[in-house]
Amino acid sequence: MSALARYWKHQGKCVAGYDIRETALTKKLVSESIPVFYSDDTNLIDPKFFTKKTLVVRTPAVSDYLNVLTIWNTYQIEVLRRSQMLALIASNHNVFAISGTHGKTTITTLLGHLLNQRTQKVNAFMGGIASNYASNLLLSSKTDDMVVEADEYDRAFLQLHPKAAVITSIDSDHLDIYGSFENIVTAFNQFARQINPNGLLIYKKGIAINIPANLKAYSYDVTDVEADIHTQNLEIIDGCYRFDLVTLNAIYPALQLGVPGWYNLENAVAASAMSIYAGITVEELKSGLKSFLGVERRFELHTTKPVIYIDDYAHHPNEINACIDSIRKIYPGKSILAIFQPHLYTRTRDFMEQFAMALAKADGIGITDIYPAREVPIEGINAQALIAKIPNAQYVDFESIASFAVTQDKDIILTMGAGSIGDKVAEIRKKLEDNV
């Protein structure tokens, strides 16, 4: 949503917005002359917006019953979904769409960064804040290429008809929308059919996808040599991976990724393959990978002394597994304290057992209350229900997370969740730095 706000501000439009709470991101928008208010009070909307010239865009993350949302009916002003607005903007571009239940934000951001190494740069709408740019939006008047994150929630990605696409994974998620895994697979297959017939699909080897007959498609994997695109000669240097990228046509040797993490390596394979398809040079690929600083809240390393502190957006059991497994590979023998904020009552209910198994991989576990987002509580679904399934887990009050984190005597602190737990990063980091 903030990328859309920035886009229209760049186009010279008057932009304002609502959010549920003030964050570092909303403060940044305000500093960019995009006013934001935080109360469901229609009196806070500037009267100049109550005109047929106004375009209203909403995210499905907010309640349908907000006064600041329903008031537009009174003025007969259409409210577009974020996905509709993004599709409208993208319709005049060569779209590279990144989809999948995991990894799409990092791949979108890395692909945007790689293509931004070119003389003509790139346009990109990213689902997270790129550390290289302190923004989630890249704009260029020199190219029609546009990288977008194609979100499967609410079938949003079916608004897009890309020139080329990546599908990273197809796992059970958003069952409040889809109802079953089979329906998720159906949606991803529909998305694949919407790729331009003269375009390209790059997909993770082994996922449940039916490749359209008229579409050029290549599989990728980090280690599986049967995949069309894979790696060889893997090394870890200063916590980050160096590798050769093997494609059907060439081998790109000694590529070094600028951020740590096994699943960042997997994301880099997909992003590199797509950037090669887009015409990037070998030198641009090398410099782009090495200079990539990552995405805020995606395996983001904050401190190394007195303890290692990593913050991650992981909010699905598979993402938690990947995050903890990556830490074990990079820091063997280190003890891990995982602090987790569950995201959504429905997701916690649907994956309660899987969350318990994934979190149990840590040496110490703190769980705080569920971040509800758009949802109302479900009886019996809460932090305590999840804690009861994990032997070494304990409840942590949200306001006490930082104090809990620095007093547990573990080598590594890992905070995870897609809600407001990211607001605690600065406090945890300061407490750790004060202890040095």
The pLDDT mean for the chain works out to 95
What dotted CATH number matches 2-77? 3.40.50
pLDDT, tens digit, 9 for 90 and up, residues 360-411: 999 999 999 999 988 899 999 999 999 999 999 999 999 999 999 999 999 9
Measured in whole angstroms, the distance separating CA 271 from the mean position of its chain's CA atoms is: 14
Of 245-254, 267-276, 322-331, 427-436, minimum mean pLDDT range: 427-436
Q: Which CATH superfamily is domain 300-434 in?
A: Mur ligase, C-terminal domain (3.90.190.20)
Kindly state the percentage of the chain with pLDDT values over 90.
87
How far is Cα 132 from Cα 121, in angstroms, rounded to an integer?
14
Q: How confident is the model at residue 214 (pLDDT cuts 50, 70, 90)?
A: confident
Nearest CA among 251, 248, 186 for reference residue 216 = 248
- Token pair for residue 313? 């957006």
Q: How confident is the model at residue 252 (pLDDT cuts 50, 70, 90)?
A: very high
Averaged pLDDT for residues 183-190: 96
Averaged pLDDT for residues 415-420: 95
pLDDT number for residue 153: 86
Q: What is the CA radius of gyration of the chain?
A: 22
Q: What are residue 116's phi and psi, to 5 degrees?
A: -75, -10
How far is Cα 379 from Cα 283, in angstroms, rounded to an integer?
56
Domain borders along the chain are 2-77, 85-291, 300-434
pLDDT, tens digit, 9 for 90 and up, residues 300-336: 999 988 899 999 999 999 999 999 999 999 899 999 9
Written in H, E and C, the secondary structure of the chain is CHHHHHHHHHCCCCCCEECCCCCHHHHHHHHCCCCEECCCCHHHCCHHHCCCCCCEEECCCCCCCCHHHHHHHHCCCCEEEHHHHHHHHHCCCEEEEEECCCCHHHHHHHHHHHHCCCCCCCEEEEEEEECCCCEEEECCCCCCEEEEECCCHHHHHHHCCCCEEEECCCCCCCHHHHCCHHHHHHHHHHHHHCCCCCCEEEEECCCCCCCCCCCEEEEECCCCCCCCEEEEEEEEECCEEEEEEECCCCEEEEEEEEEECHHHHHHHHHHHHHHHHCCCCHHHHHHHHHHCCCECCECEEEECCCCEEEEECCCCHHHHHHHHHHHHHHCCCCCEEEEECCECHHHHHHCHHHHHHHHCCCCEEEECCCECCCCCCCCCCCHHHHHCCCCCEEECCHHHHHHHHHCCCCCEEEEECCCCHHHHHHHHHHHHHHCC
Averaged pLDDT for residues 243-247: 98
Kindly state the percentage of the chain with pLDDT values over 70.
100
Q: How confident is the model at residue 436 (pLDDT cuts 50, 70, 90)?
A: low
Please check the confidence at residue 41 and state whether its pLDDT lies above 80. yes
Pick the CATH number of 85-291 from 3.40.1190.10, 3.40.190.90, 3.40.50.9100, 2.40.10.10: 3.40.1190.10
Q: Half-sphere exposure (CA, 13 Å, Cβ side) for 373?
A: 18
Averaged pLDDT for residues 5-29: 95
Q: Pick the residue with more confidence: 330 or 35? A: 35
Q: How confident is the model at residue 203 (pLDDT cuts 50, 70, 90)?
A: very high
Q: Pick the residue with more confidence: 21 or 122? A: 122
pLDDT, tens digit, 9 for 90 and up, residues 266-285: 999 999 999 999 999 999 99
pLDDT, tens digit, 9 for 90 and up, residues 352-373: 999 999 999 999 999 999 999 8
